[in-house]
C-alpha cells in the first residue's frame, strides 16, 4: 500500500511526534509499504525527507516556534496533491491539532482512511474534563477536579476557593494537552504558587484543569483493539513524570509487567478497556492511572495517539505481549480497517 505518516504538526509535542513518526515510517517500510512522511505544519509543501527524520530530536519546542505556526497549514496539507494516490494515513501527530479531532475531520472530508480513533472520540478524549465526566458515568474512579479560566490567576478570592476545594496537593494542567506540557504539582497551599501554576497552564489552553494529586504508583495500560496489554509501572528517579523524565534516557525506570497482585492487575486492565470503550476509542490507546496506597486505581486520562517510538510505552507493552514493533504497526492498520487492496 501507499501510506502517508502524519508527524510533526503544530503542538508543543511536535518534536516527539517526529520521533514517533520516524519509527513508524521505518516499520511500515520493513513491512513492504511505500511510505511518505508528511508534516502538516508545512502546508502544501509537506513532504519530510529521510535526512530530516534522521536528524529529529526530542528537544522542547520553543514558544517562538509555536507562535509561528498557522493552523490553516493543516487544511492546505490535507487538501494538497501530496496526498493524492495515498491509500491510507497513519496518524502520529501528538497533541493539539493532531490528537483532538481536527486532522481526523479533515481526513474524513477528503475521504482518506486513517489509523486510530475518529473525529468525535479524538475530540472528547483530548478534553480531559469531558473524559473525566464520562469516567464517572461509567463507574471509573478519577481524581476530584475542577476547571478554571486563565483570569483566575489574578483573582485572590478564586485562588482561595481553589485551595479550599482541593484541600491538599493538586495538579494544575492544560485541559487539552499531552506529554505533561504546562503541568505543575502544587503542594504548598500558597496562593502565589497556585496563580503561577495557572499562568503556566494558560500558555497552552484557555481551560485549566485542577485535580487532586493521588499519592502512589503511576501505571499505564495500552489497549489494542478491545484487549488490554501488560500493565507498565512508571518510576521516575527524581520528581514526577514530567517532559524531561519522559524523554531523557535514564531518568525513568519502567517495569513491565508491573509488580501487582493478580486481582489489582486484572482490575486495572478491565478499567483500561472500559475507559477506552466509554470514550469511543478505536484500534489502540493508552490509559493512565495512579494507584493509591490502598491499591485503588484512579484513571487520569486516555491517550488516542500515545508516544510511538520503539522505546515508548505502547510498543514496550506490546513487546512483552509478543508483538514486535512492526507487527504492532501492522495490527493497528488492521484494527483501523486498513487492508491491502486486492
Convert the pLDDT of each residue in 57-116 to its tens digit.
988 888 899 889 999 999 999 999 999 999 999 999 999 899 999 999 999 999 999 999
Residue 323 domain flag: yes
CA distances from 323 to 30, 230, 259, 270, 306 (A): 15, 12, 21, 21, 17
Same domain, 317 and 247: yes
What pLDDT sits at residue 181?
82
Which three-class secondary structure state does DSSP give residue 12? coil
Burial class (CB in 10 A: 0-12, 13-18, 19+), 122: buried
What is the Cα–Cα distance from 91 to 45, expressed in whole angstroms? 18
What residues are annotated to the active site? 13, 179, 247, 286, 288, 301, 303, 307
Which of 212, 238, 264 delimits the end of a domain?
212
How does the average pLDDT of the chain come out, rounded? Answer: 93
Task: List CB contacts of 111: < 8 A, sequence separation 6 or more.
Answer: none
Mean pLDDT in residue range 209-231: 97
Residue 265 inside a domain? The answer is yes
Look at residues 164, 180, 212 and tell me which one is the last residue of a structural domain: 212
pTM of the model: 0.93
Residues 26, 62, single domain; the answer is yes
The verdict on 44 and 74 lying in the same domain is yes
Residue 331 cell numbers, joined: 495490527
CATH code at 208? 3.30.1490.20
Q: If pLDDT is split at 50, 70 and 90, which confidence band does 258 have?
A: very high
Expressed as residue numbers, the domain containing 256 is: 126-141+215-328
One domain, residues 91 and 169: no
Same domain, 132 and 255: yes
Q: Taking Cα atoms as reference points, which of 186, 303, 290, 307 lies closest to residue 243?
A: 307
**Alpha-carbon span 282 to 236, nearest angstrom:** 30
User: What does the H/E/C string look like for 110-148?
Assistant: HCCCECCCCHHHHHHHHCHHHHHHHHHHCCCCCCCEEEE
Contact 324, 331 (CB under 8 A): no
Give dist(CA 262, CA 7) in Å, integer: 38
User: Do 110 and 206 sit in the same domain of this protein?
Assistant: no
Task: Answer yes or no: are the C-beta atoms of 118 and 31 closer than 8 Å.
Answer: no
Q: Last residue of a domain, which of 212, 232, 252?
A: 212
Calpha distance 45→198 (Å, rounded): 37
Answer yes or no: do 219 and 274 share one domain. Answer: yes
Residue pLDDT, tens place only, 281-291 = 999 999 999 99
29 with 105, same domain: the answer is yes
- Residue 325 phi, psi dihedral angles, 5° rounding: -60, -45
Give CA angle at 149 (144, 152), nearest 5°. 95
Q: Does 149 lie in the same domain as 62?
A: no
Report the CATH number that the domain containing residue 264 is assigned in CATH: 3.30.470.20
Give residue-wise pLDDT tens across range 227-248.
999 999 999 877 666 555 555 5
Is the pLDDT reported for residue 310 higher than 80? no
Amino acid at each position: 500500500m501507499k501510506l502517508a505518516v502524519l508527524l510533526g504538526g503544530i503542538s508543543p509535542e511536535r518534536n516527539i511526534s517526529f520521533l514517533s513518526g520516524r519509527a513508524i515510517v521505518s516499520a511500515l517500510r520493513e513491512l513492504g509499504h511505500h511510505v511518505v512522511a508528511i508534516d502538516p505544519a508545512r502546508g502544501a509543501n509537506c513532504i519530510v525527507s529521510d535526512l530530516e527524520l534522521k536528524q529529529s530530536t526530542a528537544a522542547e519546542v520553543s514558544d517562538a516556534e509555536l507562535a509561528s505556526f498557522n493552523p490553516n497549514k493543516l487544511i492546505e496539507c490535507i487538501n494538497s496533491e501530496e496526498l493524492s494516490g495515498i491509500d491510507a494515513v497513519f496518524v502520529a501527530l501528538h497533541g493539539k491539532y493532531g490528537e483532538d479531532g481536527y486532522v481526523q475531520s479533515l481526513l474524513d472530508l477528503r475521504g482518506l482512511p486513517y489509523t486510530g480513533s475518529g473525529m468525535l472520540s479524538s475530540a472528547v478524549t483530548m478534553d480531559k474534563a469531558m473524559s473525566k465526566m464520562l469516567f464517572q458515568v461509567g463507574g471509573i474512579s478519577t481524581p476530584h477536579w475542577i476547571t478554571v479560566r486563565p483570569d483566575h490567576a489574578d483573582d485572590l478570592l478564586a485562588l482561595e476557593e481553589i485551595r479550599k476545594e482541593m484541600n491538599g496537593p493538586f495538579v494544575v494542567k492544560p485541559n487539552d494537552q499531552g506529554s505533561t506540557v504546562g503541568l505543575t504539582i502544587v503542594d504548598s497551599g500558597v496562593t502565589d504558587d497556585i496563580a503561577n501554576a495557572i499562568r503556566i497552564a494558560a500558555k497552552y489552553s484557555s481551560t485549566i484543569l485542577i485535580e487532586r494529586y493521588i499519592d502512589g504508583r503511576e501505571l499505564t495500560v495500552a489497549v489494542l483493539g478491545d484487549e488490554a496489554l501488560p500493565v507498565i509501572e512508571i518510576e521516575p528517579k527524581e520528581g514526577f513524570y514530567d517532559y524531561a523524565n519522559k524523554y531523557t534516557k535514564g531518568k525513568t525506570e519502567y517495569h513491565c509487567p508491573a509488580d501487582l497482585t493478580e486481582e489489582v492487575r486484572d482490575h486495572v486492565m478491565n478499567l483500561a478497556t472500559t475507559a477506552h470503550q466509554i470514550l469511543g476509542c478505536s484500534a489502540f490507546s493508552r490509559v493512565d492511572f495512579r494507584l493509591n496506597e490502598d491499591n485503588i486505581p484512579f484513571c487520569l486520562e486516555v491517550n488516542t495517539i500515545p508516544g510511538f517510538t520503539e522505546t515508548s510505552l505502547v510498543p514496550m507493552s506490546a513487546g512483552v505481549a509478543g508483538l514486535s514493533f512492526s507487527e504492532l504497526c501492522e495490527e493497528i492498520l488492521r484494527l483501523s480497517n486498513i487492508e491491502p487492496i486486492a
